[in-house]
Structure formats: structure tokens, C-alpha cells
Structure 1
Amino acid sequence: MTSKKISLADWQQQSSSLVYSTASGTIEPEKAEKTGGTAFSDGHLRLKRETKGRNGKAVITIAGLAESHDKLTEVAALLKKKCGCGGSVKDGIIEIQGDQREVISQELTKLGYKLKWAGG
């Protein structure tokens, strides 16, 4: 009985199914960036006041805008200008610093969006 020794390189060439690789990084980063946010089924935006993980400082997050990333940054810039505060767009969600509920809801209503407050 003869046993055939297979080198590691030969074995790697024979196995065609990739189980795990760190070479690709995150899954489809371009797709999330191009499409922007995803809309909710009822067509309303979700506004939420968050303080968790932000050292007790309030941030208003706006989710549900099914627009391109450029449109999201445009809306965020308008809201930041009206509120006189900072903010950003992350993963299709607009974050506005500070507790500016009334100003944000008025401006989004003027732009023609329907709103719902989420959370407590």
C-alpha cells in the first residue's frame, strides 16, 4: 500500500470552495454607500433621540430616507444649517447633534416627508 503525500500548495489548489477570507473586508461596502438609506414599508421617516454611547449628549437620528448618499448629505447639510449644530451621515442614517426636535420635524415636513417619532 503506497501513500501519496500531498503538499499544502497542492491541497489548496484542489479545494475550490472558500470557507473564510480576510482579504475581502466587509461585505459589499459600495452597495450600501451608493443606495443610501432604506425606506420603511409605511413610507414614514423615523426620528429618534439617542444618548446611549454618546457620553449623555443627545443626538437625533433620521432613518428611512431612501435616497442616494448625495441627497442624504444635502438634507443633512440643510438640517445642520437650520439647527446651527453639527451632524453626519452614517450608513444611510442622518445624525444631527443636540435635541432639536421641533426644528428638524418642521424642516422635514416642509421638504414633504412624513414623520414618526420612534423610541421613548
Structure 2
Amino acid sequence: MTRVTKGRGGKSVTLVKGLALDPLALAALGKQLRTACGSGGTVKDGVIEVQGDHCDRIIEALRKDGHSAKRAGG
């Protein structure tokens, strides 16, 4: 999981990568994470994008769901 601002007009986006899920399960998980953060986002090319810096909330939600999650980068 990383937080990115480059190429997004200065806005931060939290990216969740590396989940071995089929596209439908990935879309459902993306919806669940966006709801948990109260934010918008999308799923593109196997990567969940959530608008804003929500790393802590997403890590908590993923661990609650049984996924191993850790922060990458700064």
C-alpha cells in the first residue's frame, strides 16, 4: 500500500496493490474500502485506488478482513 500524489494535480491517492483476487472480488473489496474511508476511488488494472491519504484505515480494514497488509514507501 502506498500514497501517491504525482500526476494527480497535487491530490493524494492511496493505492492497494498485490492482492491475489479475481476482478469481481477486487471490485467488492474496493467498494468496502471506499465505504470504510468515506471516500471515492476506483479499481484499475488490479490496483485499488482510494482518494485521499487513508493508509491507516485501509490497513486496519484489510487486516480485519484477514489480508496481510503493510505500508510501502514513506
The answer to whether TM tops 0.5 is: yes
RMSD of aligned Cα (Å): 0.7
Asked which structure has the greater CA Rg, the reply is: 1
Q: 2:64 aligned to 65, 87, 110, which one?
A: 110
Structure-2-length-normalised TM-score: 0.95
Alignment of 1:1-120 (within 5 A): 47-120=1-74
Counterparts of 1:110 and 1:62, CA distance in 2: 15
Counterparts of 1:81 and 1:62, CA distance in 2: 15
Identity %: 46
Unaligned runs of 5+ in 1: 1-46
Kindly state the Cα deviation for residue 81 of structure 1 after the two structures are TM-superposed: 0.7
Counterparts of 2:42 and 2:5, CA distance in 1: 16
Paired residue total: 74
Unaligned runs of 5+ in 2: none
Counterparts of 1:103 and 1:63, CA distance in 2: 16
Question: Runs (4+) of structure 1 moved beyond 4 Å?
Answer: none
Kindly state the Cα deviation for residue 113 of structure 1 after the two structures are TM-superposed: 0.8
Kindly state the Cα deviation for residue 72 of structure 1 after the two structures are TM-superposed: 0.5
Contact in 1 for aligned 2:55/2:71 (Cα 8 Å): no
Counterparts of 2:48 and 2:22, CA distance in 1: 12
